[in-house]
Structure 1
C-alpha cells in the first residue's frame, strides 16, 4: 500500500507499521526528516519529483512516499469484552477526504472504534491516510458486510444504537452516554438509509438555524464525537 505526506509516513514509522520501501524527493532534502528516518534504522531512495507524482497520482506528497504494510481492520468481537464502549458507525460515506477527517476526530476523542460497511463506503486508501494525517495508525476500524446485521449484534451485546436525522425530536446533546453506544452518521446527501434508521433505538438531530439544511459528514461527526467523548 502506498502512503504519502510527512506526518502520515512519520506516524506509520512511529507506530511500527512495516515499511517496505521509502522514497524521498532528491531535490527537496529535509535533514530533520532524514535524521528521523536514520534514527529508525530505515533506508530510503532518492527519486525525482516526477516519480513521486507518478506514485501518488499527482497528489500533495510533500516529497515523501512509502510502500507500507496494508492497514488491518479490527474484528467486531473486540467490542464485546463487557466494558462500556463508544462506537461510530459510518453509513454510505464514500468521500475519502470526509473519512480521513472523521478519523482525525475519532483519534482526538479516543472513541473506541469506527465501523464501515464493505459496500457503498470508501476503504482505507492513501487519500484517507493523508487526510487523517497519521490518525489512522491509532484508530480501530472495523469493516462489516452488513450494517443492519451488525446493529442487531451490537444490540444483543448491550449497545444502544442512535441514528442521526434532521427531523428527530431529540438533539445530539440528549444522547445517553452512561451505556455502551453506537452512533450512526450517514452521508450529507441521503443521510442514513431507511432500513438502518428503523433499526435504531432512537434518533437525534443537530440543530441548525441557517438556511443550509445539512452539515458536511465530517463536521457532523466531530460535533457528536465531542459530545459523547469522555474528555
Structure 2
C-alpha cells in the first residue's frame, strides 16, 4: 500500500507528471506547494537585530570604571573582548593595551568622552569601558566541593535588586572576605556594569552561586556545617550579642519588602542591628557592612 496522500489506482501511464493536477485534483489534506520565502521586512530585520543584541548582552558584560575594569582583566584576561578608553588613560592601562595587541583584541582610543558615556549609559565611566565575556554562576553542589574548613561567611540575597546596593554589598563582601553570594533559583539578579563600578573591583573577588530548590539548598548548606541567620529589622537578637556560628549564611532581604516569611522561618536564628530608632533601619548595603564586621570580629576572637 502506498504511503502517499495522493489517491491513485496504479502506476501512472505515460511520461511523469509535471504538476499537482496531472493525476487529478489535489485533496484538501494533501501536500501544499512551497512558496519561495519572501524578503524580510524592516520589522523582521529590527526584530532579528534586537534578538542579536539581547543574546550578545547575555553573553557579555560591559564594565566601566578603572577599578572594575582592571580587576576583571587581572583575574581573567582571556575574557576581555573589547576595550574603549580616552588617551589620558593610556599610561595607566598599558598592560591591557599590550594584551590587546598581542592577542588581537580590538581596542579604540576615544576622542570624545560623550562616546564613552553612550557606551556605558553612565557619566561615571572614568575614561574606560570594556566588554568581557560573562561568567556563568556556579552551582551550590560544585561550590561546596571546594569550600575550605574553618570560619566561612556567605551572603544569601533574597530579592536584592538595586544595582548600586548590589555593588555596595559586593564591595563590603570583598573587604571582609565573604566566600560567595548565593542567588535563589528564580532570581533575575546578575552582575551589571553599574554594580561592578560601585563594587570598585570587589565583584571579581566574590563568586555568584546559583541555588536550586530552596529546601535542597538549605539541606546542602547545613550538611556542610553552615547555619543560616535571617537578618530582620525587628524581633531578632542583637547581632552584637548573638552567638554567631563560624560557618554562617546571612540571609538578606529585598529593599523595602525584606525577605520572604517562609525563608525567614526556615533559618536557624534571627538577628537585628539595634539603633537609636530615629530611622526604621539601615539599607541593605549599610546593614551588610555592619553584619560582616561583627561576624569577622567574633570569628577572629574565637580563632
> What's the TM-score, normalizing by structure 1?
0.88
Are residues 1:68 and 2:132 paired? yes
Deviation at 1:227, TM superposition (A): 1.1
Question: Alignment partner for residue 19 of structure 1, among 80, 99, 104?
Answer: 80
Deviations 1:92-139 (A, max 9, x none): 101010011001111111111111225355211111111111111111
* Alignment-derived partner of residue 83 in structure 1: 149
Structure 2: how far apart are the matches of 1:51 and 1:82? Answer: 45
> Would the aligned equivalents of 2:230 and 2:269 in 1 still touch at CA under 8 Å?
yes
> Would the aligned equivalents of 2:156 and 2:181 in 1 still touch at CA under 8 Å?
yes
Deviations 1:47-105 (A, max 9, x none): 23233222212341111111111133233122355723321111110101001100111
Question: Alignment partner for residue 91 of structure 2, among 32, 36, 41?
Answer: 32
SS at match of 2:100: coil
Are residues 1:185 and 2:244 paired? no
Structure 1: how far apart are the matches of 2:250 and 2:134? Answer: 27
Structure 1: how far apart are the matches of 2:124 and 2:242? Answer: 39
* Alignment-derived partner of residue 205 in structure 2: 138
Residues 73/42 of structure 1: CA separation in 2 closer, same or farther (3 Å cut) = same
Higher-Rg member (1/2): 2
> Would the aligned equivalents of 2:168 and 2:285 in 1 still touch at CA under 8 Å?
yes
1:1-231 counterparts in 2 under 5 A? 1-17=61-77, 18-25=79-86, 28-38=87-97, 40-43=98-101, 44-47=107-110, 48-77=112-141, 78-80=143-145, 81=147, 83-84=149-150, 85-229=152-296, 230=299
> Would the aligned equivalents of 1:23 and 1:45 in 2 still touch at CA under 8 Å?
yes
Deviation at 1:29, TM superposition (A): 1.9
Deviation at 1:177, TM superposition (A): 4.1
Deviation at 1:187, TM superposition (A): 2.4
Deviations 1:7-56 (A, max 9, x none): 1111112113421111113xx52343243434x52243112323322221
Structure 1: how far apart are the matches of 2:244 and 2:122? Answer: 43
> What's the TM-score, normalizing by structure 2?
0.69
Structure 1: how far apart are the matches of 2:148 and 2:121? Answer: 45
Structure 1: how far apart are the matches of 2:175 and 2:148? Answer: 24
Residues 194/50 of structure 1: CA separation in 2 closer, same or farther (3 Å cut) = same
> Would the aligned equivalents of 1:71 and 1:124 in 2 still touch at CA under 8 Å?
no
